[in-house]
Structure 1
């Protein structure tokens, strides 16, 4: 006859099994509290993306100019930031990338110039040059 344990053998002995139900309850409550404590993302990062074909021809050497009124120009044709981004992205996708020359006016704002340089960098253009810096070597002549 096989040995069978009876209930009387376990009376008075401590239970050696771990009851994990309270542990699971506590972990679920902590998980819910962490979910509620995480702030909702209310800000958005605006990343400019090209959304069309270039409106002006892309030449072997192109000039991006900013005038004193902070207007953007591509080879003499005025355009907005999105149009400039489309031009730059199309130039960056070419097999032989053209040279992009950056030529801001001395009275152009620094913020517009910095944003335009960042736009050129983000477009993927590799052949980039600053031109006309020698004109502004002596700041007292620029007025």
Structure 2
């Protein structure tokens, strides 16, 4: 409690200095005035519902899995593929709606120029969804 000495009497003054209290209350009032309108706004969210009777065409498109080995050999969905076959397959898949994602799994010692060439071929064919897959090697 803030107390000050009285003028001529020399004894303690029993009045409280309310200026800091008023300052704190005004700051709190301003904070509540700003935040109160934000509390009254509601956001509506449309949550998806589970439907056990989904059709096959409603399911997501399976991705294209492209594995690139260290020596540059490529496997599209576990089948050996040449660069020309990849370009043709990319052109076909790019025309589909929705377009499947191309997931690239490259060996860690594969030269980047090979991966860059594949990405460029996919982009030139019209593929827009390209991702990289990784996997953890167990320590042992």
* TM-score when normalising by structure 1: 0.50
Cα shift readout 1:44-76 (whole Å, capped 9, x = no counterpart): xxxxxxxxxxxxxxx621111111111111011
C-alpha separation between the residues in 2 aligned to 1:105 and 1:117?
15
The reply on whether 1:62 has 2:36 as its aligned counterpart is no
Cα shift readout 1:68-125 (whole Å, capped 9, x = no counterpart): 1111110111111010011111000012111110111112112111111111111111
Within a 5 Å distance, the mapping from 1:18-97 to structure 2 comes to 60-97=62-99
> Which one scores higher on RCO, CA 8 angstroms, separation ≥ 6?
1
Instruction: Find 1:116's aligned residue among 109, 118, 129.
Output: 118
C-alpha separation between the residues in 2 aligned to 1:113 and 1:128?
12
Count of paired positions:
78
Q: CA separation of 1:91/1:70 partners in 2, compared to 1, >3 Å: closer, same or farther?
A: same
Equivalent in the alignment of 2:101: 99
Where does structure 1 differ by over 3 angstroms across 4 or more consecutive aligned residues? none
C-alpha separation between the residues in 1 aligned to 2:132 and 2:84?
21
* TM-score when normalising by structure 2: 0.51
| Secondary structure of 2:110 counterpart | coil
C-alpha separation between the residues in 2 aligned to 1:122 and 1:130?
18
Give the RMSD, CA atoms, in angstroms.
2.0
